[in-house]
Chain A
Amino acid sequence: MRERLSIVLAAIAALLLANNLHAMFLTLPDEAMQGAIYRILFFHAPAAMVGMIGYFVALTLSIMYLSFGDFKYDSLAASVIEVSLVFSLVNIVTGSIWARIIWGIWWTWDYRLTSALVCVLIFSGYIMLRRAIDEPTQRARLSSALCIFGCVDVVIVWKSIEWFRNQHPGPVLDFRTGGGRMDPAMSHVFYMNFLALLLVATALVLIRTRQESTAREIDSLRRVAHAA
């Protein structure tokens, strides 16, 4: 059932992406100031949003694990964080390529970029921590605590373009500015691409969660074999 759902989600995402790529390259014109490179925005910002949504879903799941002690919440949180990390990496790499053309540099240590990098480092640490601890309860408890700590940085990443003066551009999306900062046609393609990436991420989380439950099954069978 879960496998079929992930295939359906991936297929819908593929159709949406094909439609969005058509709109990006054949319908939308180049941006007046930036030229063709602005199209990176259609992957850069949605990837960041998908990553952030994932981290907050993982935060909820980690709190649920700490409250109820059910390992399925811990497995789901680990799966969501791994997929979110992939999208955060996409965000940082595409942003860096955009910056090389627009700013003339690959990287600058401003609040938004630095906090986004710290976020990637914290959640990479989360994955390393899980691999380093074999005892399931200790692994789940410590990684849940690290997830809650990491989500403080996610809030800083999100709000940094409002709180501080940055080289990174300020908010342009309708739901943050009240509208008027982005052309409606571009805004439509942006949100459709966000939806497509969200579907891709959900499909990947479903696959990853299935692997986590297989790993749990292997662990319990191994315990049975040890006990025999």
Chain B
Amino acid sequence: MDARNFTYMFYGFTAAWLIVMLYVISLARRGARLKKELEDVKHLVKGERSTPEDLLPNRMR
């Protein structure tokens, strides 16, 4: 019982940090995507690129 008790405590701590870490990774990836999208749209507004495709948000491409 004691070994199982300790193992499940370890699972609990691991699960808690895994969920938070996965969210942090998703935040970092989203941040990088938004940064790139912002650069693209800034270029577009300056008239450097102007295909209709560029006007669509990433999720619609």
Q: Name the contact of B41 in the complex, choosing from A98, A100, A218 (C-beta under 8 A).
A: A218
Whole-angstrom CA separation of A89 from B26 in the bound complex: 15
6 nearest A-B residue pairs (beta carbon): A40-B12, A97-B12, A35-B5, A221-B41, A86-B23, A43-B16
Tell whether, in the assembled complex, residue B34 and residue A37 are in contact, meaning their CB atoms are under 8 Å apart: no
Chain B residues contacting A226 (CB-CB under 8 Å) are 55
Most chain A beta-carbon contacts within 10 A, residue among B27, B35, B42, B59: B27
Residue of A whose beta carbon sits closest to that of B30: A211
Chain A residues contacting B5 (CB-CB under 8 Å) are 34-37, 101
Whole-angstrom CA separation of A70 from B2 in the bound complex: 55
Whole-angstrom CA separation of A134 from B13 in the bound complex: 38
Chain B residues contacting A211 (CB-CB under 8 Å) are 27, 30-31, 34
Residue of A whose beta carbon sits closest to that of B33: A211
Cβ proximity bits A204-228 to B, threshold 8 Å, 1 near / 0 not: 1001101100110110011011101
Whole-angstrom CA separation of A53 from B49 in the bound complex: 45
Tell whether, in the assembled complex, residue A225 and residue B11 are in contact, meaning their CB atoms are under 8 Å apart: no
Tell whether, in the assembled complex, residue A90 and residue B37 are in contact, meaning their CB atoms are under 8 Å apart: no
Interface size on A (CB < 8 Å)?
A: 37
Whole-angstrom CA separation of A221 from B54 in the bound complex: 12
- Chain B nearest CB, measured from A18 CB (Å): 13
Chain A residues contacting B41 (CB-CB under 8 Å) are 218, 221-222, 225
18 extra interchain contacts, Cβ-Cβ under 8 A, other than A83-B23, A93-B15, A200-B20? A34-B5, A35-B1, A36-B6, A37-B5, A37-B9, A39-B9, A43-B12, A97-B11, A101-B4, A101-B8, A204-B23, A204-B27, A207-B27, A210-B31, A214-B38, A218-B38, A225-B45, A228-B45
Whole-angstrom CA separation of A40 from B17 in the bound complex: 12
Q: Name the contact of A40 in the complex, choosing from B2, B9, B27, B44 (C-beta under 8 A).
A: B9
B contact face: mostly helix, strand, loop, or mixed: helix
Tell whether, in the assembled complex, residue B12 and residue A225 are in contact, meaning their CB atoms are under 8 Å apart: no
A-B contact count (CB 8 A): 92
A contact face: mostly helix, strand, loop, or mixed: helix
Evaluate whether A204 and B12 lie within 8 angstroms (CB atoms) in the complex, with A35-B1, A217-B38 already known: no
Residue A94, interface by CB 8 Å: yes
Whole-angstrom CA separation of A214 from B37 in the bound complex: 9
Whole-angstrom CA separation of A217 from B40 in the bound complex: 12
Q: Can you report 21 A-B residue pairs in the complex whose CB atoms are below 8 A from each other? A: A35-B1, A36-B5, A36-B9, A37-B8, A39-B13, A43-B12, A43-B13, A43-B16, A90-B15, A90-B19, A93-B19, A94-B12, A94-B15, A97-B11, A204-B23, A204-B24, A207-B31, A211-B27, A221-B41, A221-B45, A228-B45
Residue A47, interface by CB 8 Å: yes
Chain B residues contacting A39 (CB-CB under 8 Å) are 9, 12-13
